[in-house]
């Protein structure tokens, strides 16, 4: 089974484009969802502005597509500061980081995405910059080598990661404001659909917005991508190009064409569940055997397919291997005899 590179419902493989940027909120008031996080950030930002200080360093944690980059830009907007962005893999040598830091203006927000990928030498350089707003730089070689301290202007570092567990403890400890993103509630996703539809100048029925929210894996980036595809289907079905109307029937037909079900599962996801059920009697099955069965590597299985299947309650990782849950049987229209390891029959 081949991995789908152009997946609509897997935010990790969806690249940003100008349409994504156009739909992004610019302020905390425009940002929908993550209520407690927004309220806390508003308090911290207000306090920093009243004191005339830079905001303390912020650590954004959560799966792809939930709004970490957007929130970093919002923090800069709310602070009235400049915004400088890069990714950890782009910082190959210490001088790359030095180039960014020495060009920051006072109060700027410096955003590093995928911060878990920082190289140790660059991470150590970042520690001093975060704490003392300086850089220790070695000049010369051998007996003539010496360390000089380069002062940099006070700034706010915002680090974002999808893999908080692999970020080093010394780096985490230097962030004073941790923010953990959670998957969005259906009501928030429906509100996002309505907001995006307004910006896109299309009409969306309430039932259609609800169905899109259910199919989006709790992820704003996914629901916006699905909305744009439903706009295409609505125009193809005969709606005016200027103001297409997305109805529930359009969404159902569109999801069927895209082979996405109401739980946000693609064909590949359902095939994985069926393989565990049909070949391994519902499990348990080890990761290596399952990866071979679907024609993928173990890393692809664990990083690309399994996270949402687990989050949605469709499979479980146990000491003996992966096991399909009763919820998965019901979702696929199957039932099991003997606690998920017995004979299967259609409901």
- DSSP, collapsed to helix, strand or coil, labels residue 21 as helix
**Is 15 part of the annotated catalytic residue set?**
no
Cα gap 240→227, rounded to integer Å: 16
**Is 96 part of the annotated catalytic residue set?**
no
**Is 68 part of the annotated catalytic residue set?**
yes
Q: Which residue of the set 70, 156, 161, 162 is catalytic?
A: 162
DSSP state letter for 303: I
How far is the CA of 22 from the CAs of 8, 11, 86, 196, 262, in angstroms?
Answer: 18, 17, 20, 9, 27
Query: Shortest CA distance to 148 belongs to which of 156, 140, 138?
Result: 138
- Sequence length of the chain is 347
Tokens of 200: 């896109």
Q: Give residue 227's region: left, alpha or beta (phi > 0; psi -120 to 50).
A: alpha
Q: Which residue of the set 10, 68, 214, 231 is catalytic?
A: 68
Cα gap 74→8, rounded to integer Å: 25
How far is the CA of 43 from the CAs of 26, 109, 260, in angstroms?
Answer: 17, 17, 40
Q: How many CA atoms lie within 13 A of 297 on its CB side?
A: 4
Q: Which residue of the set 69, 161, 247, 325 is catalytic?
A: 69
Q: What are phi and psi of 60, to 5 degrees?
A: -105, 125
Q: Are 156 and 58 in contact (CB under 8 A)?
A: yes
Q: Which residue of the set 113, 156, 214, 231 is catalytic?
A: 113
Pairing type for strands 315-318 and 321-324 reads antiparallel
Active site residues: 68-69, 113, 162, 221
């Amino acid at each position: 089974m081949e991995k789908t590179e152009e997946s609509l419902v897997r935010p990790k493989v969806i690249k940003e484009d100008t349409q994504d940027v156009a739909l992004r909120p610019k302020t905390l008031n425009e940002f929908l969802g993550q209520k407690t996080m927004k309220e806390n950030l508003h308090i911290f930002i207000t306090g920093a502005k009243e004191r005339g200080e830079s905001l303390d360093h912020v650590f954004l944690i959560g799966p792809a597509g939930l709004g970490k980059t957007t929130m970093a830009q919002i923090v800069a907007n709310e602070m009235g500061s400049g915004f400088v962005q890069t990714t950890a893999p782009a910082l190959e040598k210490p001088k790359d980081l030095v180039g960014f830091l020495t060009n920051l203006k006072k109060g700027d927000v410096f955003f590093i995405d995928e911060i878990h990928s920082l190289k140790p030498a660059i991470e150590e350089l970042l520690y001093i910059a975060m704490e003392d707003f300086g850089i220790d730089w070695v000049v010369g070689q051998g007996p003539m080598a010496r360390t000089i301290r380069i002062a940099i202007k006070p700034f706010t570092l915002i680090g974002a990661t999808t893999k908080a567990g692999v970020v080093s403890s010394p780096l985490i400890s230097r962030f004073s404001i941790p923010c953990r993103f959670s998957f969005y509630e259906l009501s928030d996703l429906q509100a996002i659909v309505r907001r995006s539809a307004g910006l896109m100048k299309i009409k969306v029925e309430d039932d259609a917005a609800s169905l899109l929210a259910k199919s989006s894996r709790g992820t704003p980036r996914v629901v916006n991508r699905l909305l744009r595809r439903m706009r295409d289907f609505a125009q193809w079905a005969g709606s005016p190009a200027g103001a297409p109307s997305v109805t529930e029937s359009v969404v159902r037909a569109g999801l069927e064409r895209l082979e996405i079900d109401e739980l946000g599962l693609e064909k590949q996801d359902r095939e994985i569940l069926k393989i565990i059920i049909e070949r391994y009697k519902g499990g348990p099955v080890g990761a290596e055997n399952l990866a071979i069965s679907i024609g993928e590597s173990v890393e692809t299985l664990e990083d690309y397919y399994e996270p949402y299947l687990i989050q949605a309650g469709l499979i479980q990782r146990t000491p003996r291997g992966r096991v399909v849950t009763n919820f998965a049987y019901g979702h696929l229209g199957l039932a099991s005899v003997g606690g998920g390891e017995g004979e299967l029959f259609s409901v």
